[in-house]
Amino acid sequence: MFLYQTSIRLQHTDAAGVMYFAAAFNLAHDAFEAFMDQHLPLVSIIRQGDHIVPIVHAEVDFLAPLTLGDRIEIQITLAHRGDSSFKLAYVFQTQDGRPCAKLATTHTVVGRADGQSAPIFDDLARALSHLE
């Protein structure tokens, strides 16, 4: 599991003052980038790697509203790992432990040169092992 702490900022909210649905994906991706920075920087994959790891599916369930200034913790776990893809589960919760959103992203490994599905490469497998 990986924990990421952040706050709901004005840019994350809609006209009603609550977190806009698309902001959940931005915050989850910020948490993912923070995790990867510790274990396998995305810049190394994007600039030098033989593979890319795009998101091919994303979903979210909102359990309670988040508003401007709310401090939250995002927990990331590995929900599933296949031969060439993996699914990450995210739980957004307030400082007092109240769950507010559950989100999931499915990523697949693709060869940069041919655009075809490829096995999860060793460095990525090692990074993902920290989420189990």
Tell me the per-residue pLDDT of 75-95, one tens digit each, with 9 for 90 and over. 999 999 999 999 999 999 998
To 10 degrees, the CA torsion angle through 109, 112, 115, 119? Answer: -30
Q: How many domains does the chain have?
A: 1
Tell me the per-residue pLDDT of 98-125, one tens digit each, with 9 for 90 and over. 999 999 999 999 999 999 999 999 999 9
Residue 46 pLDDT level (bands cut at 50, 70, 90): confident
Give the active site residues: 14
What range defines the domain where residue 120 resides?
2-129
We report the CATH number of the domain holding residue 68 as: 3.10.129.10
Please report, for residues 1, 24, 69, 81, the alpha-carbon distance to residue 11 in angstroms, rounded to integers and kept in the order given. 27, 11, 11, 33
Residue 73 pLDDT level (bands cut at 50, 70, 90): very high
